[in-house]
Amino acid sequence: MSMRINHVIIYGRLNDELEQILSTQCDKTFTYVTDDTLTQELLDCSDAFVGFRLVPGFEYHRLKWIHCLGAGVDGVIKYLPGDADTLLTRTVGPFGEKIAEYCLSYMLRDLQWHPAFERQQARRAWQTLVPRNLAGQRVVVFGTGAIGRRVAQVLSFLGASVVGVSRRGEQNVHFTRVWSIDDVLNRSTASPLSCVDWIINTMPLTSATRNLFEDKFFAACQGAALINVGRGESVDNEALLRALDAGRIRCAILDVFEEEPLPTDSPLWQRQDIFITPHISAVTTAREAADCLLSTLAEIERGSARTSNQVDFQAGY
């Protein structure tokens, strides 16, 4: 059954750019709101809400459609009842490519000894360190969706050995093997985490991935580097610090955090073995957001049984 969408609320940092791009959509009414201008009355007379997250304190159940401008939807789902029948979709685009390049940049930086050479240059010290190759590096990617698969493709092409971890452990051609989360956490024999060089998290935030990387997880590691481009709430920061101190994790590259911006008094800032970026590994551009928004809207109004980017409320992605 087709769904007619006439009035759309748009909220977030891309408002000004989206207003310019969407100005040609004459048959739709787009209302651009901020925290100060959003009202319940406006929500109640609208068909759809578009934003990176929902604004707490409002009811959204009367909406026909909610569209998330980012790939992650945890900032939307947590404000909706579990039995919500509102259609929820998310932005899809070149996120896998962007995140693969982000991960590759930090991996090469490490393998080519960039931090060490920067320190040597500051001391005017001439000391040879032989660069290591990406080929032969052992990588485990948590998340085998579109983003995780693209990361695996790029790293495998350059010679790395890449295994995956997913909720159910379904095998995938882009990985040499795929483990389930339970396989990794509950193995009575040697953990697959004990023989990898890199751990990359691309998983969405769900009940299964919240605090996934905690003391029990890190206890199985033997000096891997951690890259988190999934969700900040998946990592127990206190456990990470203990793992770094114990040498279980040799360094961490963190792009996402439970609280953003990361508070200035966070102990994460002070570590030389932690590299922090401000959630930039896969930034949604206004053009990407508009293209996906309009294509999703067209699918909805054509009456597609299921849109290509529809979110499963129960799964959380």
The domain 7-91+284-302 having CATH identifier 3.40.50.720: the answer here is yes
Domain ranges of the chain: 7-91+284-302, 95-276
- Quick check: is 302 catalytic? no
Catalytic residue among 53, 90, 150, 231: 231
- Quick check: is 260 catalytic? yes
Cα 200 from Cα 113, distance rounded (Å): 20
Catalytic residue among 59, 118, 170, 260: 260
Cα 28 from Cα 5, distance rounded (Å): 8
Distance of CA 11 to the CA centre of its chain: 20
Task: Taking each helix axis as running N to C, give the angle between helix 146-157 and helix 95-111, from 0 to 180 degrees, rounded to the nearest 10.
Answer: 40
Residues 11 and 31 sit within 8 Å (Cβ to Cβ): no
pLDDT in tens, the chain (317 residues): 579 999 999 999 999 999 999 999 889 999 999 999 999 999 999 999 999 999 999 999 899 999 999 999 999 999 998 778 899 999 999 999 999 999 999 999 999 999 999 999 999 999 999 999 999 999 999 999 999 999 999 999 999 999 999 999 999 999 999 999 998 988 655 678 989 999 999 999 999 999 999 999 999 999 999 999 999 999 999 999 999 999 999 999 999 999 999 999 999 999 999 999 999 999 999 999 999 999 999 999 998 878 989 999 888 88
Residues 60 and 39 sit within 8 Å (Cβ to Cβ): no
Confidence (pLDDT) at 84: 81
Q: 282: helix, coil or strand?
A: coil
- Quick check: is 231 catalytic? yes
CATH of domain 95-276: 3.40.50.720
Angle at CA of residue 92, ends 87 and 93, nearest 5°: 160
Confidence (pLDDT) at 187: 67
Q: 273: helix, coil or strand?
A: coil
Confidence (pLDDT) at 195: 93
* Domain 7-91+284-302 and domain 95-276 have a common topology: yes
